Amino acid sequence: MYESKREPGRKFGSAFVGRRHDEAHSEPKARTESVDVKAPHAVVEEHGAATKVEVTHDHEGGKHSLKSQHPDGFENASEHSSPKEAYDEATKLADEQGHHGMGASSAEENFVSDDLV
């Protein structure tokens, strides 16, 4: 028999159901997760050049999102205020040497976009 910690006196036949009830009816916990924002060259140094880069656009909302996957499984995500900023960072993440230009084969292999405007 499990007695609720949230509502003393309320009993449950299953400890699992009782704990689930307590969790569902408790105050939400504050998120203390810190976000570690790294420069593109730091991400490339630590995780290698991106093997996949995806840029998506929300022109009405003014958000341009970038997601990259790296050889060690690390995934990076960022938002930008302009398409140029998003594509510039994508280029830096996909280019192993940190150069600003990319060859045609790299661009074809590493970029996926739903909207190129």
Instruction: Give the pLDDT confidence of 60-75 residue by residue, as tens digits.
Output: 888 899 999 988 888 8
Closest residue by Cα to residue 52 from 114, 116, 99, 113: 113
Tell me if 4 is assigned to some domain.
no
What is the pTM (predicted TM-score) of this model? 0.51
Residue 3 is assigned to a structural domain of this protein: no
Alpha-carbon span 95 to 44, nearest angstrom = 8
Q: Is the pLDDT of residue 51 over 70?
A: yes
Q: Which domain holds residue 81?
A: 40-113
Give the per-residue pLDDT at 98: 45
Number of domains in the chain: 1
